[in-house]
Amino acid sequence: MNRPVFAAALLASVSLAASAAHARPMTPEDVARLQSIGTMAVAPDGSRVAFTTAALPDVTKGEKDGTTRQVLKIAAAPDAARAFLPEDINPGSIAFSPDGTMVTFLWAKPDEKRSVWGVPVDGGAYRKLAGLKDSNVRAYRVSPDGSMVYMLTDAALDDQRDTQAKAGFDARVYEEELTMARMFAARIGAEIDPSPSQIAVPGHVSAFRLTPDGKAAIIETAPTPLVDDSYTSKRVNVFDLASGKVRAVVETLGKIDDVEISPDGKQLSLIAGVDQYDPAPTTLHLVDVATGTFRALNAEAAEATVDAEWLADGRLAAIIHKGVQSRLRIYNADGSVAEEHDPGELILTAIDAGGSRIVVAANAPQHPTELFNFTGGRFERWTRHNPWLSEVTFGKQRAYSFTARDGQKIEGVLIEPVGGIPRKGGVPTIMNVHGGPEAHESNGWQTAYSKPGQVAAAKGYAVFLPNYRGSTGYGVAFAKQHQGDYGGKEFDDIVDAKRALVADGITDAARTGITGGSYGGYASAWGATYYSAEYAASVMFVGISNNLSKFGTTDIPNEMYLVHERKWPWEEWDHLLDRSPIFHVDKATTPILIMHGDSDPRVHPSQSLELYRNIKTRKPAVPLRLVFYPGEGHGNNRAASRYDYNLRMMEWFDTYLKTGNRSAAMPAPRPQLAEGAKGAKPVAKGK
The burial of 644, by beta-carbon neighbours within 10 Å (0-12 exposed, 13-18 middle, 19 or more buried), is given as: buried
pLDDT score recorded for residue 1: 53
pLDDT score recorded for residue 90: 96
pLDDT score recorded for residue 11: 30
Nearest-angstrom CA–CA distance, 9 and 538: 29
Neighbours of 505 (CB within 10 A): 14
Q: Are 203 and 221 in contact (CB under 8 A)?
A: yes
Q: Are 129 and 198 in contact (CB under 8 A)?
A: no
CA 33 from centroid of its chain's CA atoms: 18
pLDDT score recorded for residue 424: 86
- Exposure string of 530-549, with b = 16+ CB inside 10 Å and e = fewer, is bbbebbbbbbbbbbbbbbeb
Q: Which pLDDT tens digit goes with each residue over 575-630?
A: 999 999 999 999 999 999 999 999 999 999 999 999 999 999 999 999 999 999 99
Neighbours of 553 (CB within 10 A): 16
Nearest-angstrom CA–CA distance, 631 and 637: 9
Share of the chain above pLDDT 70, in %: 96
Q: Are 139 and 92 in contact (CB under 8 A)?
A: no
Share of the chain above pLDDT 90, in %: 92
Question: In the chain, which stretches have pLDDT less than 50?
Answer: 2-21, 683-687
Residue 428: which of 622, 662, 594, 659 has the closest Cα?
A: 659
Residue 626: which of 607, 651, 600, 650 has the closest Cα?
A: 607
Q: Which pLDDT tens digit goes with each residue over 399-440?
A: 999 999 999 999 999 999 999 999 888 999 999 999 999 999
Task: Identify the three-state secondary structure at position 388.
Answer: helix
pLDDT score recorded for residue 683: 47
The burial of 409, by beta-carbon neighbours within 10 Å (0-12 exposed, 13-18 middle, 19 or more buried), is given as: exposed
Q: Is the pTM above the cut of 0.85?
A: yes
Residue type for position 291: T
User: What residues contact 496, with CB distance under 8 A and at least 6 apart?
Assistant: 402, 403, 404, 405, 410
How is the beta sheet containing 114-120 ordered, strand by strand? 92-96, 102-108, 114-120, 127-130
pLDDT score recorded for residue 168: 95
pLDDT score recorded for residue 123: 85
Q: Which pLDDT tens digit goes with each residue over 505-548?
A: 999 999 999 999 999 999 999 999 999 999 999 999 999 999 99
Phi/psi for 391 (5° steps) reads: -80, -15
Task: Identify the three-state secondary structure at position 115.
Answer: strand
